[in-house]
Structure 1
Amino acid sequence: MTITQQEDLDGLRDIGRIVANTMHAMAKAMEPGMTTGELDEIGRKWLERHGAVSAPQSAYDFPGATCISVNEEIAHGIPGDRIIALADLVNIDVSASKNGYFADTGATFRVSAVRPSLDRLCHDGKRAMQIGIAQVGAGKPLAGIGTAIGRFAADRGYTLIRNLASHGVGRSLHEYPEEIPTWPTRSEKRRINKGLVLTVEPFLSKGGLLAADGTDGWTLYSEPAAPVVQYEHTVVATDRGAIVVTMPG
């Protein structure tokens, strides 16, 4: 989607705030002993209460209102009977629509204390997203996002999952540009047009290179097996940089 009027920006800010508040409400309620299905139910009720519709369910018939991925699951985890435990890494990904506007956000949360190396991975994963967002602006190259994130990752000895990309969003969950690399690539020649709505969502890892399919048709795993974190915002490109619409409030 390309924003051309204030009404569009207001609509995106509204759904962006809802998905952000939903994710943070889920994270605040999360505790050891809870199942991922129970956590998803909190998210479902929050979305419904604020007039939003789960995008994974409406667009892809996903078996959950949100995606919840624990430890070895790196994306698209199905909420269910899995019990959340101390020292788990839990990724919560919330996307939804309201009044025809879509927004998408996600983050990896620690359940109590985790190993120092995983704590650093979480901190650096969020920083990688912020570095990518700093490359968003009208007229800038799309490849600049992945170039900057890749430099940051390499400097700190991390890898990036290279088949899970950022994407356009706004009037649907996934739209043009449908694949925006968050890793360095020479083949990406497109530029960011003013008003473009997109996600920035690098998957930072301690050795993982690709996302591999599991057996349930949804859940993705790191290949080779390694810890992975993901942080994601929906942003709008302007002449002055990026407007982040997925902010709680």
Structure 2
Amino acid sequence: MTITNERELQGMRRAGQVVADTLRALREALEPGVTPAELDALAGQVFARHGAQSAPRLTYDAPVNVFISVNDDAVHGLPTTRPLQAGDVVSFDVTPSVDGFIADAAVTVAVPPASPVALQLIACAEAAFDAAMRVARAGQPVNAIGRAVDTEVRRRGFTVLRELTGHGVGRALHEQPDVPNFPHPGARSRLHEGLVLAVEPIISSGRAWRTATRRDGWTICTRDGGLAAHHEHTVMITRGRPVILTA
């Protein structure tokens, strides 16, 4: 989507506010003993208060309100009834549809007390997103984002999961362009003002950059058992620093 007027901007801001409120509620409820299924139900309650619906459910018939991925599950985790334990690394991926506008964001948190590796991995995903924000501006190639992410992740000793990418978003859940998290030779299109992107470094503490899909047909995990972290926001490209719509 490319935002061209104030109505579209406000529509995306409303969807982004639902994302922010939902992530806040999930983080506050995270504790040992709570189940991902209970957290998914909580997200559904927040959606309902805002008149929002789950975009993955609407688009792909996903059996969730939000995806919740634990430890070596990287993305699209189906919420289970297994109680979370101290030290678990939990990624919340929240994508509501509100009055025809879709916003997408994710955050990874650890159930305390967290291991040093988990904390370093989460910090790396956040730093990689920040690195992307420093280069994502009108006129730059899409590849600039992937180069910035990959450089930061490698510098900190972690691995980009290359099969998982960011993407355009706004009117549909997945729009063009794809936004790889490494310097992909095909990502040569130029960013332009008003373009809405989901920028989302997805990384692992392991060495394998390829992923696998679990038997549920949804959950994508690391191949070598490495922990995964995911940091994402929906942003609007400008001539300067992008506008974050989901914060």
Alignment map for 1:37-186 (pairs within 5 Å): 37-177=37-177, 179-186=178-185
Q: CA deviation at 1:194?
A: 1.3
Alignment map for 1:188-203 (pairs within 5 Å): 188-203=187-202
Which residue type is aligned with residue 194 of structure 1?
E
RMSD: 1.0
Q: In structure 1, how many angstroms separate the alpha carbons of the residues matched to 2:71 and 2:159?
A: 17
Per the normalisation by structure 1, the TM-score is: 0.96
SS of structure 1 residue aligned to 2:188: coil
Q: In structure 2, how many angstroms separate the alpha carbons of the residues matched to 1:180 and 1:240?
A: 19
Matched, 1:212 2:224: no
- Segments of structure 2 that go 5 or more residues without pairing to the other structure are none
Q: In structure 2, how many angstroms separate the alpha carbons of the residues matched to 1:188 and 1:31?
A: 40
SS of structure 2 residue aligned to 1:134: helix
Structure 1 ranges of 4+ moved more than 3 A: none
SS of structure 2 residue aligned to 1:241: coil
Query: Do the aligned partners of 1:138 and 1:241 also contact (CA within 8 Å) in 2?
Result: no
CA deviation vs aligned residue, 1:103-144 (integer Å, no higher than 9, x gap): 000010110111112111111111111111222111111000
- Segments of structure 1 that go 5 or more residues without pairing to the other structure are none
SS of structure 1 residue aligned to 2:14: helix
CA deviation vs aligned residue, 1:76-115 (integer Å, no higher than 9, x gap): 1111212111110010000011111100000101101111
Report % sequence identity. 38
Aligned residues: 246
Q: In structure 1, how many angstroms separate the alpha carbons of the residues matched to 2:142 and 2:92?
A: 26
Per the normalisation by structure 2, the TM-score is: 0.97
SS of structure 2 residue aligned to 1:64: coil
Which residue type is aligned with residue 40 of structure 1?
D
Q: In structure 2, how many angstroms separate the alpha carbons of the residues matched to 1:48 and 1:135?
A: 36
CA deviation vs aligned residue, 1:139-162 (integer Å, no higher than 9, x gap): 111000011111111222211000
SS of structure 1 residue aligned to 2:44: helix
Q: In structure 2, how many angstroms separate the alpha carbons of the residues matched to 1:137 and 1:153?
A: 21
